[in-house]
Amino acid sequence: MSGEYQKHQVLEKALNFTNSSHSLSRREFLIMTGGIIVAVSALEARGAKEPPLIIVDQAEGLVIADATQCVGCRRCELACTEFNDGKASPTMARIKIGRNLNFGPKGPYAGLRAQGNWGNGLIIQDLCKQCPHPVPCANACPNDAIVVSPSTGARVVDPNKCTGCKMCQRACPWEMMSFDSDTNKATKCFLCEGNPKCVEACPSGALSYVAWRDLTDKVPPRVVPTAVVSPEKAQTCIDCHKK
Amino acid sequence: MEQEPKICTNILKIIHARSESGQLVRVEEILAELKEQGFLESEDVEQKAHLETTLKQVLKENRDLKAISGKNGIPYYYSAQSLSETYAGILVRKSENPLWLIAEVVRENSQLYPRPVPVDSFLEPPFGLTREEIAECLTTMREQREYQDIARTITSVGTPFLYSTQHLDPDHAFTLAEWLDVGQVNNP
Amino acid sequence: MAKYGGWAGKVLRVDLSTGRMSTDDTVEQYKDYLGGTGIGYKVIWDEVQAGTKPFDPENKIVFGVGPLAGTGAPCNGRTAITTLWPTCWPRPLVASGHMGGHFAAELKYAGYDAIIIEGKADHPVWLSVMDGRTEIKDARQLWGQGIRRSTIEINQQMGPEATVAAIGQAGENLVPMSVVMNSYSHSAGGVGGVMGSKNLKAIGVRGTGSVRIAGNKEEWEKAIKLHLSLLGANNQNVVPNSPQPWAEHYNAGSRWMASAGRRWGASDPNIDTGACEPHNLNRIAYRTNNAAFFLGDKAWQYTVRGNGCTACPIRCHTMLKVPAVAAKYGIPEVGQNTCVGLLFGKAFFKTFPDGPRGQTAIEACMVGMHLADDLGIWENYGQLQRDFQALYYNGIFGRKVAEKEFKSYSWDKYEEGDPTFLFELLPKIANKQGELATALGLGTGYLLERWGIPEQEWLENHELLYWKFGHPKHHSNEDAGQCGVIINTQYNRDAQCHSHSNFTRNGLPLEVQKRLAVELWGAPDAVDGVADFTPMNVYKAKMAKWSLLRKELHDCLSLCNWMGPWVASPLRERDYRGEDSIESLLYSLATGDRKSRQELDQVAERIFLLHRALTIRDMGTKEMRTKHDTIPHWVFADPKDRAAFSKGTIRMDRDDIKLAMDMYYEEMAWDKQTGSPTRETYRRLGLETVADELAKRGLLT
């Protein structure tokens, strides 16, 4: 997705809001400030310090997977990066099959309990949960570069703001952040504007794009996140939650 | 008749739905469904005739809709979007006469591809005949003149195949059956 | 940014004798040879002297992939491994083995289009290739281990995502009939011993990089979707196995096995394969079930799912879960493979107590896969098993092997079809224990020579399917008459060409095949009905040339010739046409090097010509027609003595085949008398220096 295009859209949405007569809810305000920061910085204005972006609304959809139907061909990973980025790059793919393909999430030490091609055959597809608030990757970003896509509500990386610090990667319990080694920027599942390429590419129909549901308490994490949230963001959390 | 466009749409829907579930539909069945939907209040002959005309109109306007007739001339309808002519042909014959079904499938395969047909394939959908039914058909065929072209060949591993002598020589049929049953697996 | 997409850009060279490592620029040095076998033949031609033996340190092994490997082009999972072939008899010549799996893609992501292995390590080693960091590692602790254990141990070191290509005990012991294997079940035959001779246990590859698509990404997406829409089931069978609601045609011989009610019964919960309407690209993976195709209906209940290579939606490897084998044989209940790999264990036996499609046959397959794919034994397209049956039932084992050794085998079990017999036999082959097993491990040609059996006996026996040089036929006259015969004369091992058979077996009516043949090869007469062959014509020669060039092209681009070409499709609205230019479309978009179908076929012809030149150089003769392009006697015989071209026979006619070879050489612009390419042909295809080299040796016509 083009960063410029996205900025434009967000700005437009924000302007519509300010022109309208109804007052912004806090939730809407928080979402919009992210967009406004993008817009303002694009205009190179240097004004008062904006409050940090904290995403509170939910995504509209997410991609879910049926592990029993996965045949391990990795066409989803390839569709993700070839059709979006013009290169075949499973490491950068926003759906992750390769790491569970051979032995399952427990890896080559799983012995007889192994999954994947070397075990019982089950292939666990790792997908972005499009987390509800608090969104770990977005909160960990010191540059507020993970914002809400206006079309799907997906949490997306604004490449213009991403500095490639990888704090987001350390924040995701499911290790779903990816990096583009050519641009040194983070990237993540942005739901392809509502038509996920991975879903379309799956030759066994193992993936579906569905209305958002909360999977964060259902799918076990892969790692213990270690990212820290900036003091400014933490303060915003406190401000909001103490009300 | 302000209901006319609605009836047309519903006729189309009925045929499409049947085809999507792998089935053909006869006029009576369409009428019965329309009646259930409240389009046919009574057994009014005139109204029924009118509906049949409407049906003809629907068939004419929707090029994916096809009619296929069995031996008794009764037309069955289907949508070519979901059912092939081949499949529809199998369904018609199956609904009328398994003997005829087997013979025609065997003849078509012997002529077109050409290849013989494994007897056991008639056990599977869409044929769905039982072993007993197949055995009975084959016995009857031997006695009826119109089926004298249907012959049998058995592969080296004992699998029986059927072919039509109108289109295949016994020797050729055997080689083809052997090729399908054993040869392709042994020459992967 | 590199000028071209597709290629990773570098070829890795590792000298195991010195530990020296270097890289070549792929585009600079090998672009005219694309990749895969193209790089392989080029390296052997340039760098390996005539007269070198397969197990000499001077022999080289080239693991080559092409510009499409690692992309989303369907069916790109194959790695071509080119080397001097140890089972090629009576003298080793160049040949290639092809393994699927995930090695090819991972190699590209690691930054390489090929790995050239040279020399010989002074102790067992394995090669670790991680994103351009290559290390030669000590493999002494792995030596003696099977492929499975070795792979897991290497994965523990390199991480779970690495792909490991390893040899088993067979390769270590320099058994010529041995494989290298990656991704659990994907092997390349013949090269295990060559790796063993270099003390190279395995190559582990891990790459986090990418393959750039040079063309516009929307066009690439369109090309991929076009290609996907043309796919059939495995072997490009384009009609289903049984009547389906959507299908105009069906064929009981099709590998398109899916149907409502046929279920992946060992999936939990199980999955109905269903109608698989061809426009539904989200159902392609359910079409093929090779276990059910090869082993019968019983295999459905044991099917976990389909498996296969990177980016291939076909999934020709079927994963089976047969709980009974755990207690009965002490082996894992899950196993997987395809075709001859799947049939490895079963094919040794003539009969089973419950018939060829019963439970015992499936169990024999499970035991066979468990043992062979761990020990790393090659089956030479089933020749090992056909030889075994003939040698036993004709009493040859009894005569050639000492009585004590012969009696040490449980022949009663063997005759009864008891799979436990395989536990006696297979480890002995891998470990060269005893005369019987050692001889079997040599491959047919060297076995016959060792035991003083005239090759003639094998050449006359139709059931053995033996062709020449120690190797069997692979889709010959049974599939495509004279075209198949021509193809089987051309290589130094079994031909491994499927371009022709994937067309003749596609399941469409003969009249449709003939209609497509007009567009592809110029006339309907290019193809015949099965066992209803007609005399030779020039269109069959054109089809043979096309078939060979596409096979070579696929082996260089990294497309699977077990699936391609894609000149027929399941699409009725296309009148079942496929797309003869799909390779050039994919190549041009991926690399940015625009080449038409004809231009790309010409590159393939150059590569195929280099294979021919290498064969001439290493045979030391230009008399290829009489000394290389030979045809076994059984091709000209019929068990019922039916005449050639009568219905029901696949028998060919000697004079007609002479004409066939004439026409083929003419199509190739080779000398008809000798079957050797002319200087003009070498020149036309940019190989004049090759012609010069042959001329110096007196080998140019």
Q: Which residues of C touch B179 (CB under 8 A)?
A: 253, 478, 530-531
Instruction: Write the pLDDT tens digit of every residue in C44-56.
Output: 999 999 999 999 9
Residue A110 φ/ψ, nearest 5 degrees: -75, -15
The three-state (H, E, C) secondary structure of C424-491, written as one string = HHHHHHHHCCHHHHHHHCCCHHHHHHHCCCCHHHHHHCHHHCEEECCEECCCCHHHHHHHHHHHHCCC
Q: What is the mean pLDDT of residues C381-404?
A: 98
Q: Per the structure block, which two tokens stand in for C237?
A: 């069978």
Could you tell me the CA-to-CA distances from A8 to A12, A35, A53, A104 in Å, in that order?
6, 9, 18, 42
The whole-angstrom distance between B87's CA and the closest CA on chain C is 6
In angstroms, rounded to a whole number, what is the distance separating the alpha carbons of residues A95 and B125? 38
Instruction: Write the pLDDT tens digit of every residue in C518-561.
Output: 999 999 999 999 999 999 999 999 999 999 999 999 999 999 99
pLDDT of the residue at A20: 38
pLDDT of the residue at C416: 98
Q: Per the structure block, which two tokens stand in for C263?
A: 């279920």
Whether C652 has a pLDDT exceeding 90, the answer reads yes
User: B65, B90, B115: which is the final residue of a domain?
Assistant: B90
Name, in order, each residue with C-beta under 8 angstroms of B53's C-beta and a sequence gap of 6 or more.
none
More confidently predicted of A3 and A136: A136
Tokens 């130094």 belong to which residue?
C492
Q: In what side-by-side order are the strands of the sheet with C112-118?
A: C21-25, C10-15, C112-118, C61-64, C79-84, C94-99
Tokens 């008749």 belong to which residue?
B1
Interface test with C, best of A117, A124, A179, A200 (most C CBs within 10 A): A117
pLDDT of the residue at A111: 78
Least CB–CB distance from C71: residue in A88, A108, A117: A88
Name, in order, each residue with C-beta under 8 angstroms of C627's C-beta and a sequence gap of 6 or more.
C619, C621
CB contact (8 A) between residue A68 and residue C267: yes
pLDDT of the residue at B3: 65
Give the ipTM of the model, two decimals please: 0.97
- Confidence band, pLDDT 50/70/90 cuts, at residue A26: very low
Least CB–CB distance from A118: residue in C161, C184, C268: C184
Q: Which CATH architecture has domain C10-206?
A: 4-Layer Sandwich (3.60)
Min mean pLDDT across A111-115, B134-138, C476-480, C696-700 is at A111-115
Interface test with C, best of A69, A75, A123 (most C CBs within 10 A): A75
Q: Which residues of C touch A78 (CB under 8 A)?
A: 71-72, 311
CB contact (8 A) between residue B86 and residue C247: yes
CB contact (8 A) between residue B184 and residue C465: no
Q: Which residues of C touch B169 (CB under 8 A)?
A: 647-648
Whether C662 has a pLDDT exceeding 50, the answer reads yes
Q: Which residues of C touch A88 (CB under 8 A)?
A: 70-72, 105, 108, 210-211, 213
CB pairs under 8 A between B and C: 95
Q: Is the dihedral of CA C147, C148, C153, C155 positive or negative?
A: positive
CB contact (8 A) between residue B113 and residue C251: yes
Instruction: Write the pLDDT tens digit of every residue in C49-75.
Output: 999 999 999 999 999 999 999 999 999
Same domain, B101 and B178: yes
Helix ranges restricted to H, chain B = 4-20, 27-36, 45-61, 85-96, 98-112, 131-143, 170-178, 184-186
The nearest alpha carbon in chain A to C286 belongs to A204
Residues of chain A by 3-state class (helix, strand, coil), percent to 5: 35, 10, 50
Least CB–CB distance from B85: residue in C248, C531, C647: C248
Q: Which residues of C touch B172 (CB under 8 A)?
A: 531-532, 647-648
CB contact (8 A) between residue C209 and residue A91: yes
Q: Among residues 225-284 of chain C, which lie with CB inside 8 Å of chain A?
A: 228, 267-269, 271, 281-284
CB contact (8 A) between residue C212 and residue A118: no
pLDDT of the residue at A66: 98
pLDDT of the residue at C461: 96
pLDDT of the residue at A16: 40
Instruction: Write the pLDDT tens digit of every residue in C8-53.
Output: 999 999 999 999 999 999 999 999 999 999 999 999 999 999 999 9
Q: Per the structure block, which two tokens stand in for C672?
A: 């008809």
Please provide the DSSP assignment of A7-32 as one string.
HHHHHHHHHHHHHSSSPPPHHHHHHH
The percentage of residues in chain B with a pLDDT greater than 90, rounded to a whole number, is: 78
Q: What's the CATH code of the domain at B40? A: 1.10.10
Same domain, B182 and B101: yes
pLDDT of the residue at B1: 46
CB contact (8 A) between residue C213 and residue A74: no
Q: Among residues 139-158 of chain C, which lie with CB inside 8 Å of chain A?
A: 148, 151-152, 155-156
Q: How many residues does chain B have?
A: 188
In angstroms, rounded to a whole number, what is the distance separating the alpha carbons of residues C475 and A85? 41
Burial class of C91 by CB neighbour count within 10 A (0 to 12, 13 to 18, 19+) = middle
pLDDT of the residue at A171: 97
- Confidence band, pLDDT 50/70/90 cuts, at residue B42: low
DSSP state of B78: E
Q: Per the structure block, which two tokens stand in for B32?
A: 């019965």
CATH fit for domain C234-445, picks 3.40.50, 1.10.260, 1.10.287, 1.10.569: 1.10.569
Interface test with A, best of C158, C268, C305 (most A CBs within 10 A): C305
The identity of residue C304, as a single letter, is V
Give chain B's domain count: 2
The CATH fold assigned to A58-241 is Alpha-Beta Plaits (3.30.70)
* C160 interfaces chain A, CB cutoff of 8 Å: yes
Q: What is the mean pLDDT of residues B22-41?
A: 88
pLDDT of the residue at A29: 40
The residue ranges of every structural domain in chain A are 58-241
Q: Which residues of C touch B127 (CB under 8 A)?
A: 243
The whole-angstrom distance between B54's CA and the closest CA on chain C is 27
* C334 interfaces chain A, CB cutoff of 8 Å: yes
The nearest alpha carbon in chain B to C642 belongs to B171
Find, among C407, C403, C429, C413, the residue nearest to C350 by Cα.
C413
Q: Which residues of C touch A89 (CB under 8 A)?
A: 109, 209-211
Instruction: Write the pLDDT tens digit of every residue in C214-272.
Output: 999 999 999 999 999 999 999 999 999 999 999 999 999 999 999 999 999 999 999 99
Q: Which residues of A touch C334 (CB under 8 A)?
A: 119-121
Min mean pLDDT across A157-161, A213-217, B53-57, C647-651 is at B53-57
CB contact (8 A) between residue A203 and residue C283: yes
pLDDT of the residue at C323: 98
Instruction: Write the pLDDT tens digit of every residue in A36-59.
Output: 333 333 333 444 567 899 999 999
* CATH 3.60.9.10 domain locations along chain C: 10-206
Beta strands at C125-130 and C200-206: parallel, antiparallel or unpaired: parallel
- Confidence band, pLDDT 50/70/90 cuts, at residue C2: confident
pLDDT of the residue at C151: 98
Same domain, B78 and B115: no
Contact of chains C and B by CB distance (3 or more pairs under 8 angstroms): yes
* C256 interfaces chain B, CB cutoff of 8 Å: no
Q: Per the structure block, which two tokens stand in for C271?
A: 């999955």
More confidently predicted of A239 and C177: C177
Q: How confident is the prediction for chain C on average, in pLDDT?
A: 98
CB contact (8 A) between residue A68 and residue C220: no
The identity of residue C549, as a single letter, is L
Contact of chains B and A by CB distance (3 or more pairs under 8 angstroms): no
Find, among C593, C489, C481, the residue nearest to C537 by Cα.
C481
User: B53, B72, B90: which is the final residue of a domain?
Assistant: B90
Instruction: Write the pLDDT tens digit of every residue in C101-123.
Output: 999 999 999 999 999 999 999 99
Which chains have at least 3 CB atom pairs separated by less than 8 Å from chain A?
A: C
Q: Kind and range of the H or E element at B153?
A: strand B150-154
Instruction: Write the pLDDT tens digit of every residue in A126-178.
Output: 999 999 999 999 999 999 999 999 999 999 999 999 999 999 999 999 999 99
Residue B101 lies in domain: 97-186
CB contact (8 A) between residue A83 and residue C286: no
User: B28, B59, B90: which is the final residue of a domain?
Assistant: B90
pLDDT of the residue at A48: 55
Least CB–CB distance from A87: residue in C151, C210, C271: C210
Residues of A with CB under 8 A from a CB of C: 68-75, 78-79, 81-92, 98-103, 107-109, 117-121, 181-182, 200-205
Instruction: Write the pLDDT tens digit of every residue in A107-119.
Output: 999 877 899 999 9
CB contact (8 A) between residue C109 and residue A89: yes
